[in-house]
């Protein structure tokens, strides 16, 4: 048992962990898995957007970097062009200074990508980490989506809004962890369902309202069968009376029914939550599609293999350690935003490279250190010397220190998963952003509680107004596509700003953390993301499946 140098909690390093460290030729970590995860997320701003100038063209752009940041930021098309060369910033390694100090100097000099958009993203100026999307707005980490708004971690979605971790669906609203659904609203953990409201853990259902744990049902309300006419009348009354009242009623009612302790499907030897088609993945969360031999990973997989302490990594990647946002790469460690590369260490924003150490923004390069070109022989002679130097300074084997993050803690995903106030964040060594976005220029600002409950009473003029968020008190606007969506589906205008709605959805998911507790029914030992002090009735899988019969 080791003690974490950040939180001072004890954590176990298993024999399997040690074998992996030996394979990667890295020392055992000084931080516990949670603190390692927190540090990686502290380098990812995913949804805080700002207007600033492109430092190459001088033209206004939307960016992940606020104007007060000390970095050079280029618009995506400029960053990927041949109008500038990141190798011009190359420098010699100075053995009289620490590696992280020199790397930070390089970070400050090399231009950064404004939004991290890849592929074709037509009509998608306000999306980040997107790939091949069309007509999307405020979508963060989305791929192959069309006409999707205010959503996070979505793929192959269409005509949907305010969704989180949902895939291969259309006409969804306020849905979380949903797949292959159509015209569903306020649904969680649901697959292959249609034309329904307020579902939780349902499969192959149609025309259901406020149901939980149903399989292959149609025309059900609160898990009871109803006639088609009864269903239609209830739905009309619900829409007229307000959906939020129904949500409150459903959230209270469903606590009487069992909850499955974890979501692990078609997998072998795995622990964690939301794991599909995987093998030997331990303490992993949101791991998908053929992952194998992963430890302490989040939102990774996609045929990834042999990875530890990785977030947003995979797509046939292998041998990754302490990585973030990496696809198609092999034998890499301590690196952020790396794709299609191999043998990359302590680098940032790398594409199609091989044998790099301490580099930033390189594309199709080999044998570089601090963005300087070396021969193969010179590279292989110098890198071991740098590693020995890093061992003496205590840097080797640890992820980038928090002070190297280009963002304030309150701008990053770490704030969602590990919330801290400003005082605590600064005490723990993180940065904090005090930048305030300029106020909206609108005709007037309306407090959310003054909005009509019925969408039929909302005038077109609302597009020229701002709404005061009922939680943050920050004004926000809705766009034409939103208003059309709300009217088409008889949905109320939201009372909370998009950022708060996204936070609300994230908070409805369980944390990336496992607790030991007993099955509510048979008292078998289980590992679950439901902490022992929660009120849900958590069942082991056999008891849960029995309850469905």
Question: Which of 443, 452, 508 shows the shortest CA–CA distance to 475?
Answer: 443
Structural domain for 205, as ranges: 163-257
Phi, psi of 204 (to 5 degrees): 55, 45
Task: Tell me, yes or no, whether 520 and 544 share the same domain.
Answer: yes
218-247 burial, b if ≥16 CB within 10 A, otherwise e? bbbbbbeebeeeebeebbeebbeeebeebb
Task: Tell me, yes or no, whether 172 and 231 share the same domain.
Answer: yes
**CA atoms 525, 530, 533, 537: torsion sign:** negative
Instruction: Please identify which residue in the block is written with the tokens 């597009």.
Output: 463
Say how many C-beta atoms besides its own lie within 10 A of residue 364's C-beta. 10
What is the pTM assigned to this prediction? 0.95
DSSP string, 152-180: EEEES-EEEES-EEEES-EEEES-EEEES
Task: Tell me, yes or no, whether 247 and 171 share the same domain.
Answer: yes
Helix (H, G, I), strand (E, B) or coil at 475: strand
Say how many C-beta atoms besides its own lie within 10 A of residue 122's C-beta. 10
Contact 461, 435 (CB under 8 A): no
Determine, yes or no, domain membership for 295: no
Which segments within 254-387 are labelled E, that is strand?
258-260, 264-265, 272-276, 279-282, 284-288, 292-295, 298-301, 305-314, 318-327, 330-339, 342-345, 348-351, 354-357, 366-369, 372-373
**CA atoms 168, 173, 174, 175: torsion sign:** negative
Q: Is 44 left (phi over 0), alpha (psi -120 to 50) or beta?
A: beta
Helix (H, G, I), strand (E, B) or coil at 375: coil
Determine, yes or no, domain membership for 321: no
Task: Tell me, yes or no, whether 455 and 531 share the same domain.
Answer: no
Question: Which of 188, 189, 227 shows the shortest CA–CA distance to 207?
Answer: 227
Burial class (CB in 10 A: 0-12, 13-18, 19+), 181: buried
Burial class (CB in 10 A: 0-12, 13-18, 19+), 533: exposed
Determine, yes or no, domain membership for 369: no
Rounded CA-CA distance 406/337 in Å is 14
Side-chain half-sphere CA neighbours of 468 within 13 A: 9
pLDDT by residue for the chain (549 residues), tens only, comes to 899 999 999 999 999 899 999 999 999 999 999 999 999 999 999 999 999 999 999 999 999 999 999 999 999 999 999 999 999 999 999 999 999 999 999 999 999 999 999 999 999 999 999 999 999 999 999 999 999 999 999 999 999 999 999 999 999 999 999 999 999 999 999 999 999 999 999 999 999 999 999 999 999 999 999 999 999 999 999 998 889 899 999 999 999 999 999 999 999 999 999 999 999 999 999 998 889 999 999 999 889 999 999 999 999 999 999 999 999 999 999 999 999 999 999 999 999 999 999 999 999 999 999 999 999 999 999 999 999 999 999 999 999 999 999 999 999 999 999 999 999 999 999 999 999 999 888 889 999 999 988 899 999 999 999 999 999 999 999 999 999 999 999 999 999 999 999 999 999 999 999 999 999 999 999 999 999 999 999 999 999 999 996
Which DSSP state fits 254?
G
Residue that is last in its domain, among 257, 277, 300? 257
Determine, yes or no, domain membership for 225: yes
Residue that is last in its domain, among 196, 225, 257? 257
Burial class (CB in 10 A: 0-12, 13-18, 19+), 284: buried
Task: Tell me, yes or no, whether 476 and 537 share the same domain.
Answer: no
Residue that is last in its domain, among 257, 285, 318? 257
DSSP string, 388-401: HHHHHHT-TTSPPP
Burial class (CB in 10 A: 0-12, 13-18, 19+), 478: buried
Task: Tell me, yes or no, whether 499 and 460 share the same domain.
Answer: yes
pLDDT computed for residue 549 by the predictor: 63
Contact 99, 382 (CB under 8 A): no
Determine, yes or no, domain membership for 34: yes
Task: Tell me, yes or no, whether 493 and 521 share the same domain.
Answer: no
pLDDT computed for residue 546 by the predictor: 96
| Rg (alpha carbons) of the chain, rounded to whole number | 24
Task: Tell me, yes or no, whether 7 and 37 share the same domain.
Answer: yes
Task: Tell me, yes or no, whether 450 and 531 share the same domain.
Answer: no
Give the chain's domain count. Answer: 4
Kindly give, in sequence order, each residue whose CB lies less than 8 Å from that of residue 424, ignoring residues fewer than 6 positions away.
none
pLDDT computed for residue 501 by the predictor: 97
Q: Which residues pair with 179 in a beta bridge?
A: 167, 191
Determine, yes or no, domain membership for 13: yes
Rounded CA-CA distance 483/476 in Å is 14
Task: Tell me, yes or no, whether 211 and 177 share the same domain.
Answer: yes
Task: Tell me, yes or no, whether 454 and 537 share the same domain.
Answer: no
Task: Tell me, yes or no, whether 186 and 239 share the same domain.
Answer: yes
DSSP string, 399-466: PPPGGG-SS-GGGSTHHHHS---HHHHHHTT-------PPPP--S-EEEGGGS-SSGGG--GGGGGSE
Rounded CA-CA distance 136/320 in Å is 32
Determine, yes or no, domain membership for 229: yes
**CA atoms 496, 499, 503, 506: torsion sign:** positive
pLDDT computed for residue 290 by the predictor: 87
321-332 burial, b if ≥16 CB within 10 A, otherwise e? bbbbbbbbbbbb
């Amino acid at each position: 048992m080791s003690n974490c140098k950040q939180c001072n909690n004890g954590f176990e390093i298993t024999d399997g962990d040690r074998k992996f460290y030996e394979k990667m030729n890295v020392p055992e970590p000084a931080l516990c898995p949670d603190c390692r995860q927190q540090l990686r997320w502290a380098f990812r701003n995913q949804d805080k957007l700002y207007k600033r100038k492109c430092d190459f063209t001088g033209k206004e752009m939307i960016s992940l970097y606020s104007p007060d940041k000390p970095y050079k930021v280029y618009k995506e098309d400029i960053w990927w062009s041949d109008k500038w060369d990141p190798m011009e910033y190359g420098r010699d390694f100075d053995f009289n200074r620490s590696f992280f100090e020199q790397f930070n100097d390089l970070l400050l000099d090399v231009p950064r990508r404004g939004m991290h958009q890849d592929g074709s993203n037509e009509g998608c100026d306000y999306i980040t980490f997107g790939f091949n999307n069309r007509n999307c707005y405020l979508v963060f980490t989305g791929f192959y989506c069309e006409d999707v708004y205010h959503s996070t971690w979505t793929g192959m979605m269409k005509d949907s809004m305010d969704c989180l971790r949902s895939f291969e669906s259309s006409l969804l609203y306020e849905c979380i962890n949903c797949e292959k659904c159509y015209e569903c609203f306020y649904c969680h953990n649901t697959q292959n369902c249609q034309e329904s409201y307020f579902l939780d853990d349902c499969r192959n259902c149609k025309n259901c309202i406020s149901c939980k744990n149903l399989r292959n049902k149609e025309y059900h309300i609160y898990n009871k069968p109803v006639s088609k006419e009864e269903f239609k009348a209830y739905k009309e009354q619900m829409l007229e009376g307000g959906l939020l009242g129904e949500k409150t009623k459903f959230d209270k009612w469903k606590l009487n029914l069992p909850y499955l302790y974890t979501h692990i499907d078609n997998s072998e030897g795995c622990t964690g939550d939301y794991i599909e088609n995987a093998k030997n993945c331990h303490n992993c969360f949101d791991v998908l599609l053929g992952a194998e031999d992963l430890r302490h990973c989040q939102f990774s997989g996609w045929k990834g293999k042999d990875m530890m302490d990785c977030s947003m990594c995979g797509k046939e990647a292998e041998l990754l350690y302490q990585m973030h946002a990496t696809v198609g790469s092999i034998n890499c460690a301590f690196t952020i935003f790396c794709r299609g590369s191999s043998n990359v260490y302590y680098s940032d924003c790398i594409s199609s490279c091989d044998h790099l150490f301490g580099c930033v923004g390189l594309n199709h390069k080999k044998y570089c250190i601090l963005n300087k070109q070396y021969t193969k022989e010179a590279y292989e002679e110098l890198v071991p010397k740098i590693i020995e130097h890093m061992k003496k300074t205590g840097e080797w084997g640890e992820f980038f220190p928090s002070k190297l993050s280009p963002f304030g803690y309150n701008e990053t995903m770490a704030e969602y998963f590990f919330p801290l106030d400003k005082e605590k964040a600064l005490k723990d060594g993180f940065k904090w952003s005090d930048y305030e976005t300029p106020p909206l220029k609108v005709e007037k600002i309306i407090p959310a509680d003054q909005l009509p409950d019925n969408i039929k009473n909302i005038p077109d003029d609302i597009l020229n107004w701002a709404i005061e968020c009922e939680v943050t008190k920050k004004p926000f606007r809705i766009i034409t596509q939103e208003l059309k969506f709300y009217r088409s589906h008889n949905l109320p205008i939201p009372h909370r700003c998009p950022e708060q709605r996204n936070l609300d959805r994230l908070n409805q998911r369980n944390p990336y953390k496992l607790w030991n507790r007993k099955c509510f029914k048979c008292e078998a030992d289980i590992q679950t993301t439901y902490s022992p002090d929660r009120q849900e009735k958590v069942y082991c899988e056999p008891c849960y499946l029995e309850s469905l019969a």
